Structure 1
Amino acid sequence: MSIINPALERPELIAYFLGANNYSWLHFRNGEKKLLSKPISYLEGRLPGFIRVHKTALVNPDYVKSLQRPLRQKMAGKIQLQSGETFPVSRRRWNQVVQSLGDHLAPIGNEEGLRASVHLDEAHPMGESGSLSYQATSLFLVTNDEQNAFLARQIIGKNWPEYRVETLAKSIHLPELLDELPESELPALVFLDARSDALERLHTLQRLKNNQRLCRVPVVLLALPTDKSVIEGYERQANSVVTMKEGDMSFSQVIDRICQFWLKVAELPAHC
């Protein structure tokens, strides 16, 4: 018997859906997930109260914790769920998401407050034409270890203050997120921590390297110290594979040393 109708009758138990071609993963609030034989567009029609934040993600607004405005013009925003998971909000859906979440988010709690948070920082450097003008100033780190993410932001903020650090717990949406950026705003470097969720990270790595626009972005794979991990990383065209044990206390120092090479020694590709 199909589980689709019983599941949709209790939307309060649902956290979000992730589309996968003609199928969708249903993620419940209790952590369970089920594969449904329906595309995400079908589920969007059945659950008009849910919010399509990206072409592959449909979320329950009651399960949203925060909404982060785009850090630069033409960048995607981010939405964080109560579980801590973060998804990109595509540029073309941003205003609709802001409007839909107006009554759900605290502490802002109203559309006007949310819209006020969308304005770009006045300190961004501007070209003569008034458009944003700068080279790659961001680094992306994918890790589900919040402590390591915090340590990485600290060390990069201290030693590489010209770079902004974006952290994600999941990499599944990273190719779509980066593909929405103009060439000039692609990151200087991407870290994929594959010591956990290795299959997801390797799949993301392969998708990045198979993308004609994104393949030039250097990707460093953090892997467990096994021959298999190293081989799989290079087979999927990682620019570097760095091995570390899970729980390694020198995480921030390793990140800094990698930055020393890629941001100071290596010649990075220019983004037009």
Structure 2
Amino acid sequence: MSVVKPAIRHPALIAYLAGANNYTWLHFRNGEKKMLAKPISYLETQLTEFIRVHKTALVNPACVEKLQQPPRQRMAGSVQLEGGIVLPVSRRRWREVATALQPYLSPDGEVTAVAAPEPEKVVEPPITPLKSAESPATPTRTVLLATEDSNTQSIKWALESRWPQYVLHTSVQSSHLPRVLSLLSADELPTLIILDARTSTLERLNTLQQLKEDEQFGQIPIVMLVPPIDDAITDSYRRRANSVISIPDSQTPLGLTIERISQFWLRTAALPVAL
């Protein structure tokens, strides 16, 4: 089942989208992120009120606080979003973006107040900006879970309520992870990766191998969830999984397993502050 429509069902909750090849990060106004296996050009057709400010960025105009003109010719301008996030406006899109934001601009170039609904709690599953114009807050550490389980939202709430210093990002596919992680800075990399290999076993094993063969990503602890098959367990350790958990029953609640993993890796084990 597609996770795209549930993720964009409440566009007022989204601050901006950042494209990464054929994948897109959705950045929500509450600070959460979710990755979708769709190019930003596709999502632009679904979020018609959003404004394309750059080939890799699509913004919610209700979140724009300031439009900054290019400082010199042949330089990019910028938009500042709520929370101090600054995104570039490409030179060839400048006129189009300025026109689209004109209804919200005051004479000094600041964006006037935009009536927008207050963020609401999302009950369905909704995963690189420039540096903030303000002093950045202490970065939140992240856990990445690749699974086809449909109950990820309750798992997210459970993990983040017990370990509030962590944010859980989920993804259905995993083959793109090495490429997507390569776009992140060191302090944005996940602290822990969990690959649910009960389905898509070969894909998860290949992802594990690619990550562990990388000098930087190989330091990230990776936990494999596998069916009770000797080959899956052996292959996981052969490809340098840090931990392998065999789940004998497909009906076993994933949330309980994730809680036990988190209890060890987030509370007991010593993890690096930055990779």
- With the length of structure 1 as denominator, give the TM-score of the two structures: 0.59
Q: Is the 8 A contact 1:195 1:246 kept in 2?
A: no
1:245-269: per-residue Cα shift (whole Å, max 9, x none)? 3523332111111111111111112
Match of 1:112 in 2: 51
Please, what is the CA RMSD of the aligned residues?
3.4
- With the length of structure 2 as denominator, give the TM-score of the two structures: 0.59
Q: Distance in 2 between matches of 1:121 and 1:152?
A: 28
Match of 2:214 in 1: 211
SS of aligned partner of 2:262: helix
**Correspondence 1:33-52 to 2 at 5 A:** none
Match of 2:26 in 1: 69
Label 1:240 to 1:71 Cα distance change in 2 as closer, same or farther (>3 A): farther
SS of aligned partner of 2:59: helix
Q: Distance in 2 between matches of 1:155 and 1:77?
A: 17
1:186-225: per-residue Cα shift (whole Å, max 9, x none)? 1111110001110000000000001111111110000112
Q: CA deviation at 1:135?
A: 4.8
* Percent identity for Structure 1 against Structure 2: 30
SS of aligned partner of 2:51: helix
Residues matched between the structures, number: 189
Q: CA deviation at 1:155?
A: 1.9
Match of 2:227 in 1: 224
Label 1:178 to 1:68 Cα distance change in 2 as closer, same or farther (>3 A): closer
Letter in 1 for 2:180: L
* Larger RCO of the pair (alpha carbons < 8 Å, separation 6+): 2
Does 2:181 match 1:237?
no
Which runs of 4 or more aligned residues in structure 1 lie more than 4 Å from their structure 2 counterparts after TM superposition?
Answer: 117-121, 127-131
SS of aligned partner of 2:261: helix
Match of 1:160 in 2: 163
Label 1:237 to 1:141 Cα distance change in 2 as closer, same or farther (>3 A): same
Label 1:258 to 1:101 Cα distance change in 2 as closer, same or farther (>3 A): closer
Q: Is the 8 A contact 1:70 1:76 kept in 2?
A: yes
1:2-41: per-residue Cα shift (whole Å, max 9, x none)? xxxxxxxxxxxxxxxxxxxxxxxxxxxxxxxxxxxxxxxx
Q: Distance in 1 between matches of 2:48 and 2:132?
A: 38
Does 2:254 match 1:251?
yes
1:127-186: per-residue Cα shift (whole Å, max 9, x none)? 999453535511110011212x23421321221222111111100101111121111111
Q: Distance in 1 between matches of 2:210 and 2:256?
A: 28
Q: Distance in 2 between matches of 1:253 and 1:77?
A: 22
SS of aligned partner of 2:155: helix
Match of 2:265 in 1: 262
Match of 2:142 in 1: 138
Q: Is the 8 A contact 2:237 2:244 kept in 1?
A: yes
Match of 2:35 in 1: 78
Q: Is the 8 A contact 1:209 1:215 kept in 2?
A: yes
Which structure 2 residue ranges, 5 or more long, are not aligned?
A: 1-18, 53-57, 65-80, 86-130
SS of aligned partner of 1:175: helix
Q: Distance in 1 between matches of 2:150 and 2:230?
A: 27
Q: Is the 8 A contact 1:139 1:166 kept in 2?
A: yes
Letter in 2 for 1:269: P
Letter in 1 for 2:50: E
Letter in 1 for 2:49: N
SS of aligned partner of 1:171: coil
Q: Is the 8 A contact 1:76 1:177 kept in 2?
A: no
Does 2:185 match 1:182?
yes
Q: Distance in 1 between matches of 2:153 and 2:146?
A: 12
Q: Distance in 1 between matches of 2:82 and 2:178?
A: 26
Q: Is the 8 A contact 1:175 1:207 kept in 2?
A: yes
